[in-house]
């Protein structure tokens, strides 16, 4: 006489488990195929909307090289390093003629760096405060956390250049509009990163401070901040790199920095001065990237980045 299984159905538990496992595999396969089909459909839709076709790329790619060919400097080896002549001008074809406005460009690049540095410092301070309010494990009240997260989403959801356009109209042309625009966007981006770091922090120090009567500010200051400070610093340095590039971009709408000069030479000259400004921007951003990378590694260690 066959024995009745423990589940009362007369079926072997192993057979039940295997059947359940096969069903789970089939369900997962259906979900994966559905998601893949949706992804391919949206990909095809986006390609059709953007007209991202090989024919269009093949037709447009040579124009890029044509443009850069038109703005490349006409350097001549025989006068490459010639100094100013009797009239006080560099001869055409020399490096001096190419970078005739070098000190002007250098001043504007320094202004761009100061804009990015100021914006990063202000945004970091604001993001630190908002991160404690937005993090789900440290927010003083659920509605405060929701409001802080929505505010951060708005700040990072609007591009810096759009903020700069509005602020140029409000406060006038100059670096102030660019700094405020970058502060708003960087606060939203850093606030999200900082809040995620806070949510991964250990709450044991907070519980200890709360047990001895510490208020919310003391819990954040002594329980959370020491844990997250290295990551905060690393993210702030990373954001400084981005803000240098953003400072150059917002200059296109009159918000100060080297971007304003780049917009000027592109609009009115279309000659080798475009290449001169672009080269200085690339070198500046590269140098800052390398320096901040070393600082980040020194602060949190290379092994923490793996």
Q: Give 87-113 pLDDT, tens digit per residue.
A: 667 777 777 777 778 888 889 899 999
- pTM equals 0.78
Checking phi first, is residue 61 left (phi over 0); if not, alpha (psi -120 to 50) or beta?
alpha
- Structural domain contains residue 165: yes
| Whole-Å CA distances, 71 to 1, 120, 213, 265 | 93, 33, 67, 10
Residue at 200 is within a domain: yes
Phi, psi angle pair for 269, to nearest 5°: -120, -45
Residues ≥6 apart with Cβ < 8 Å to 300: 230, 231, 233, 234
Domain assignment present for residue 4? The answer is no
Q: In sequence order, which residues have a C-beta less than 8 Å from that of residue 38 and are 6 or more positions away? A: none
Q: Is residue 270 part of a domain?
A: yes
Count of domains in the chain? 1
User: Any residues with CB less than 8 A from the CB of 145 and at least 6 apart, and which?
Assistant: 133, 134, 135, 136, 139
> Is there a domain that residue 12 lies in?
no
Q: Which of 15-19, 53-57, 70-74, 165-169 has the lowest average pLDDT?
A: 70-74
**Within a domain: residue 26?**
no
Element (H, E) at 169: helix 160-171
The mean per-residue pLDDT over the stretch 181-204 comes to 93
Q: For residues 258 and 268, give the distance between their C-alpha atoms in angstroms, rounded to a whole number.
A: 16
Q: Are 123 and 182 in contact (CB under 8 A)?
A: yes
Q: 272-300 vs 102-134: helix axis angle to the nearest 10?
A: 40
Given a contact cutoff of 8 angstroms between Cβ atoms, the answer to whether 209 and 222 are in contact is yes
Domain with residue 236: its CATH number is 1.10.3720.10
Range of the domain at 296: 101-305
> Average pLDDT in the 230-244 region?
90
Q: Which two tokens stand for residue 126?
A: 């604001």
Residue 58 lies in a domain: no
47 is a domain residue = no
């Amino acid at each position: 006489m066959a024995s009745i299984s423990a589940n009362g159905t007369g079926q072997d538990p192993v057979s039940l488990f295997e059947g359940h496992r096969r069903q789970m595999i089939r369900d997962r396969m259906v979900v994966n195929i559905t998601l893949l089909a949706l992804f391919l459909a949206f990909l095809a839709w986006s390609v059709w909307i953007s007209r991202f076709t090989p024919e269009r790329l093949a037709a447009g790619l040579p124009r890029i090289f044509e443009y850069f060919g038109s703005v490349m400097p006409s350097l001549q080896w025989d006068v490459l390093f010639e100094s100013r002549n009797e009239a006080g001008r560099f001869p055409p074809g020399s490096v001096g003629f190419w970078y005739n406005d070098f000190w002007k460009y250098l001043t504007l690049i320094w202004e761009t760096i100061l804009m990015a540095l100021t914006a990063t410092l202000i945004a970091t301070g604001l993001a630190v405060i908002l991160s404690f309010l937005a993090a789900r494990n440290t927010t003083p009240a659920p509605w405060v956390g929701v409001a802080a997260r929505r505010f951060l989403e708005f700040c990072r959801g609007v591009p810096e250049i759009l903020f700069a356009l509005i602020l140029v109209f409000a406060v006038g042309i100059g670096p102030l509009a660019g700094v405020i625009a970058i502060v708003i966007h960087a606060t939203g981006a850093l606030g999200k990163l900082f809040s995620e770091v806070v949510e991964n922090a250990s709450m044991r120090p907070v519980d200890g401070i709360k047990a001895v009567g510490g208020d919310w500010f003391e819990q954040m200051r002594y329980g959370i901040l020491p844990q997250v400070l290295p990551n905060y610093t690393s993210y702030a340095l990373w954001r400084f790199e981005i803000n240098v590039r953003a400072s150059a971009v917002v200059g296109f709408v009159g918000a100060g920095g080297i971007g304003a000069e780049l917009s000027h030479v592109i609009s009115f000259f279309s000659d080798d001065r475009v290449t001169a400004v672009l080269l200085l921007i690339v070198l500046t951003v590269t140098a800052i990237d390398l320096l901040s990378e070393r600082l980040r590694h020194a602060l949190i260690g290379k092994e923490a980045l793996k």
